[in-house]
Structure 1
Amino acid sequence: MEAQLPEPGKQISKDAVKVWMISSFIGNCVGLLLFGGLIWAAGRYGWYPWIGLVFKMIFVFLVLYLPYDVWIEPIYRQKTWRYEILDQFIQLKYGVLEKNHFIIPMTKIQYVNLKQGLLLRKYGLADITVKTMASQHEIPGLPLEEAKQLRMQIAKLVPPSPRRKRRWGLTEKGRLMKSPLRKTAKGRSFLPLSKSRRKKRPHRKGRTRKGRKGTRMRRILPFLPEEGMLKMSVMDERIAGAPGWKRLSPAWLFFSLANLVKEWLIPIILFVINNSDGWWIKAIKILCVPFFLIQLIGIFLQWKNYKYRVTEKEIRIIKGSFVKEEKIIPVKRIQSVEKETSFIHRWFSLTSLKIHLATGEEEVFSLEAIKEKEADEILNRIRGDGKGTADPAAEAGGKGMQGVPGAKTIFAMAPKDIFIASFTSFSFLAFGPFLVSLYLNIDEYFHLSNLLGDLPVRVWESLARSVPLLLLGGAALIAVSLLFGIIVTFLRYGNYRVESDGKRIVIKKGLFNVSELAVPVEKIRAIKWKKYFLRSFLGITEVKLVAMAGNGEDSETKSAVLFPFLQENRAKELVREMFGIRLSEPMEKLPARALAVKLLRPNYLWIIAAVVNFYQWPEYWYASVILLVYILVHRILSFFRCRYRLEENHIQQQGGVWTAELIYLPEHHMDEMVLKTSWLQRRFGLATVEIHIRANPSETLLIEDLPWEKGAEIFRWFMEKRKRPAA
């Protein structure tokens, strides 16, 4: 079975076994001491008996696991660890009970690091860490010199993007251009500037030291790394006064002041309106005044010192009252731009822009309270001709997802769709909690319970004595709840439109609070169809775009949903119209032996829960049976739901249990692949395929318990697709 795949040939050092044995022994001893202390504390302080039982079970497991983890596993781990560095990718294979076979394309590697701890340094070893766009991998236990050479080898094989090739004077094949490095009179080498970047330089005579330093810094800055965001402190405040720098609208002060008053509303009611003679109340009143004034002054300084400038290539933002900071955002790193116009913004003809970056840190920037005309100009500058939004991964490893040219409206939500969505989303159920929350909040400040007295009780007694009145009241409550759900859904998805021009997808929605989101097509990594339990009976699906996004809390919710609810056939037609892709039918099912593996696979959480249940609460023995039945039903449904299909340039997979998900993933957006086989899967000739996608939240396409032959076929397909001609 293993011979069907090309095997990596290089092995790690045998001294790694000693390092792993020592580190495993230390780790297990720490674990035994920790749980031994917890067992003692549970008996000493009279904790619940089941807590002490769980600690004892873990302690016994650690005692039994220690010989394997210290003396057996490191030996087999070293024997099974293999790696291979090729021009196109890195192959890794390791694992004792569960074998893992990785393919890491060179085009997806971000950096290579060498790491040495105390034990590794003692035996002259080092670990190589390879960071990709989706995850991180390690080649452990290499001799130090070999690790250094391996690090340099990987670093040289990682291809630069086309922009860096042009900047470094390289052709697309990695060779030097005809105009090589030039030399000055002092023998210093430099790259010649292109004609468009050549400028007449003033005579150097009479320049101050500060001027020469600034010129030197300007020469260095173009060669700094472009990943993520370039942050620097503003050394010269005069640049903020240069033409092109703008401030937010003065209306921003009004909005911020309103938010400040809202934050201080409860303290004002508690300590100002409710007059009290307590000395501590008077002290709080005195302290609140300076805090309020400090925040008020801070709002003005924040507005005064916040400046921005937008060009075709970058966005610059200067902010900070005491510590000034300038942020330079390259336009090509912008993942999407969201335009939000709230109901209050529309009074002042203002709007706000949210800029999402394709980075992992500080990925969302806001330009709040700017004129709508100015926002449109900024959007036009950012979008440009589409050249500035190229994905670095697509540059290095293939083209992005292609859109169908031609600007047009793809989808406009009809009232019928909103009506159906209000029922299938159960938004009407929020009416009851909304009323209770509203009553409690009002009662907290205005004491409605004292004003109403026993009126609610008398109304309920009157309804209870009359069945017709009770039915009429229930019907009225249901009708109001349904109306509430329709209104909430209409306010959220009113005027929902999807437009496309082949380069970007524009999503507009909202009735009072209007939002507009533009996502470049080449940033889209995959497309996902999602059918919830109730909507699946009506044939309604949700379509999401898996895109490069930041870590914002609502970035996935706001930017990923393309069609929130639509008939499945209609959704597939629209996706085909927008991207020119078609789902392949039929998809392959899992073999019958996969169901046996799913049912036989142990669930350790259920084992612990069952032991605790029978020990602590034997009279509720049926709880463990119910949990076991739920686990088995869950696995059976996941078996019948799972489908997959491999095509020439993409793979598609369907999964889920109560919610069915179908994902379409092009080959060039796969960051890495791993083929796994556990000891149970090897007995039945099965395997698991994992494909990692660069997105946020991180996406993983998982095909579990498929035949080994199919898994090997997908693995070889990915390997062949990753190959590229040597430079």
Structure 2
Amino acid sequence: MKAKRYHFCLVIFELWKLLRNTFFIGFYLYVIKYGEESDLFKYGRMAFVALIFIAVIYILLKWMTHKYELDNHSFHIHKGVFVKSKQTVPFSKIHNITKHTSLFHKIFNMTSIRFETSSTDEDTDIVFNVITKDEANRLEGHVTNQSSEEAIHDEIGHGEQGQFVSERKIHFSPTRNELIRASFTSLSFLLFIPIVASFYSKLDDIFHIEKEAEGIVSNIINSWWIVTILLVLFILCSVIFGMIRTFLKYGKYEISSDDNRIYIHKGVLEETAFSIAKDKVQAIEIEQSLMKKILGLAEVKLTSVGSMKIGDESLDVNTLYPFLPVKQAYKIVSDLLPSYKVEEAMVRLPKKSFWVRLLKPSWIWIIATAVLFFVKPKFFQLEESWWLCSILLLVIIMIVRVLNYINSGYLLNEQFIQIKHGGLTTTLFISKRDKIIEVVVTRTLLQKLFGLSSIATTNRANPVEQNKIDDVPIEIGRDFYLWYMARRAEIHIE
């Protein structure tokens, strides 16, 4: 393929970013300080115009000189306005593909796409901030097809190269009832309160509503039926707001896969599409908050090396639908990644771990108690009430530790490890042995007295993914180390 120049809409996008980043400086110099004729503002305006002019020229030169091309194996990116450079990124190094279509992109019928590599350096990623949808689909299809062909060719050791097409299977798309349930589970309707409060505060700053409507407010408060109607209307608006917000975020949510990749699509006004090669998934995390545990729901996250960003914007795209019933979540994981095994029956911590967790000193409680002792604040007008706060804090800490003990568990199963931990919020971590880059077995003095240890894993991610479970028997710590050493036969150097 011949080297191509990026779409001209990229220039418009860069100019929009320049305007957005410099707007308040220009507003300050030319509007707020319009009448100022001192040298500081006089030369400041001249410097501002000069910098804007240089930035515009640089954006145009960058568009004219930066190009891209790709063959059957790699991307080739030509960079540099004054100093030329060429970047080559093999398709085999690409882990994730993320597409994001913002309101800006929709106005021009464009999108953005990012090909994330295994490197933690974002400069090695291939990013198209503005690109036509057809071109984005073509690039994505070319990369995924060539990667699939190479994987099959490496696996069978022979065969002719041809276009590889794999049919996608849809695993989940939320129904209307599931979206309604998600709007309440996510508590998104509560966001309506700070939005209304912020809007009211700004109106009051401009029109002094509180002073002008002081009599009206007092009459409303004294009328119970008006208060009731307003409260009902406020609750109704909050619920509607929560439903609209949930629909805009998850209305077009879809989880699908083919033989080689997993695809996640979400968003209505702003759309985000994420795909990852199945063999590039580093680990799986299944999280349950207190609310989700009560409702029997779970959130599944796929751990990968990429940064999940387009430009300066972070995208939460590696999460499967965050309001899945637990059983359904386990089934979807098995369908998406047949090589992963989610075992519900796990090994519980021994009883001596319970006593170790209760006896372990809490530095939060010690420091808080010391501060309360010296400050000695009065709560509810009670003398010496600070020690009641100290006791209450200690009780809360102990309750969380007890819950953490009840929720903790582990399992070493052939090539897999499962670690579950957490108090009010629990996390189930699942990873394959060959995806773990480091393990650590540690023992504190208290653990030595009880014959216990802590085991920890590290997976490649951005930032690195670390998981740990405390107070397992020392024999498990030894087995864990030997289990990890057996990975040598499973490692494949890229």
2:236 matches 1:475:
no
Q: Which residue of 1 aligns with 2:272?
A: 515
**In 2, Cα distance between the equivalents of 1:261 and 1:438?**
26
Distance 1:384 1:590, change over 3 A: same
Q: Which residue of 2 aligns with 1:250?
A: 8
Question: Alpha-carbon deviation of 1:345?
Answer: 2.0
2:397 matches 1:631:
yes
2:342 matches 1:583:
yes
Question: Alpha-carbon deviation of 1:458?
Answer: 4.7
2:142 to 369, 374, 381: 381
Q: Contact conserved, 1:667 with 1:718, CA < 8 A, in 2?
A: yes
Q: Contact conserved, 2:5 with 2:68, CA < 8 A, in 1?
A: yes
Distance 1:546 1:309, change over 3 A: same
**In 2, Cα distance between the equivalents of 1:276 and 1:407?**
60
Q: Which residue of 2 aligns with 1:656?
A: 422
Q: Contact conserved, 2:452 with 2:472, CA < 8 A, in 1?
A: yes
Q: Contact conserved, 1:336 with 1:519, CA < 8 A, in 2?
A: yes
Instruction: Give the match's secondary structure for 1:507.
Output: strand
Per-residue Cα deviation, 1:36-66 (whole angstroms, up to 9, x for no partner): xxxxxxxxxxxxxxxxxxxxxxxxxxxxxxx
Distance 1:724 1:424, change over 3 A: closer
**In 2, Cα distance between the equivalents of 1:441 and 1:329?**
50
Q: Which letter does structure 1 place at the counterpart of 2:415?
A: N
Q: Which letter does structure 2 place at the counterpart of 1:576?
A: S
Q: Which letter does structure 1 place at the counterpart of 2:450?
A: F
1:542 to 288, 296, 299: 299
Instruction: Give the match's secondary structure for 2:240.
Output: helix
Distance 1:274 1:697, change over 3 A: closer
Q: Contact conserved, 2:72 with 2:146, CA < 8 A, in 1?
A: no
Instruction: Give the match's secondary structure for 2:282.
Output: strand
2:329 to 553, 571, 582: 571
Q: Contact conserved, 1:331 with 1:389, CA < 8 A, in 2?
A: no
Q: Which letter does structure 1 place at the counterpart of 2:193?
A: G
Per-residue Cα deviation, 1:313-352 (whole angstroms, up to 9, x for no partner): 2212223333333322222111111112223323433211
Q: Which letter does structure 1 place at the counterpart of 2:461?
A: A
Q: Which residue of 2 aligns with 1:314?
A: 74
Q: Contact conserved, 2:169 with 2:256, CA < 8 A, in 1?
A: yes
Distance 1:498 1:679, change over 3 A: same
2:247 to 478, 481, 490: 490
Instruction: Give the match's secondary structure for 2:481.
Output: helix
1:464 to 221, 237, 244: 221
Unaligned runs of 5+ in 2: 156-165, 378-383
2:270 matches 1:505:
no
Q: Which residue of 2 aligns with 1:50?
A: none
Q: Which letter does structure 1 place at the counterpart of 2:325?
A: Q
TM-score, L = length of structure 1: 0.59
Question: Alpha-carbon deviation of 1:511?
Answer: 0.8
Distance 1:257 1:442, change over 3 A: farther
Question: Alpha-carbon deviation of 1:257?
Answer: 2.5
**In 1, Cα distance between the equivalents of 2:76 and 2:118?**
17
Distance 1:457 1:284, change over 3 A: farther
Distance 1:724 1:666, change over 3 A: closer
Q: Contact conserved, 1:610 with 1:624, CA < 8 A, in 2?
A: yes
2:359 matches 1:596:
no
Instruction: Give the match's secondary structure for 1:671.
Output: strand
Q: Which letter does structure 2 place at the counterpart of 1:344?
A: F
Question: Alpha-carbon deviation of 1:421?
Answer: 1.6
Distance 1:549 1:271, change over 3 A: closer
Per-residue Cα deviation, 1:605-624 (whole angstroms, up to 9, x for no partner): 43344334323438423333
2:37 matches 1:279:
yes
**In 2, Cα distance between the equivalents of 1:560 and 1:569?**
20
**In 2, Cα distance between the equivalents of 1:244 and 1:486?**
48
Within a 5 Å distance, the mapping from 1:161-240 to structure 2 comes to: none
**In 1, Cα distance between the equivalents of 2:285 and 2:395?**
30
Distance 1:721 1:250, change over 3 A: closer
Larger radius of gyration: 1
Q: Which letter does structure 2 place at the counterpart of 1:592?
A: K
TM-score, L = length of structure 2: 0.85
Within a 5 Å distance, the mapping from 1:677-696 to structure 2 comes to: 677-696=443-462
Q: Which residue of 2 aligns with 1:361?
A: 121
Q: Contact conserved, 2:274 with 2:318, CA < 8 A, in 1?
A: no
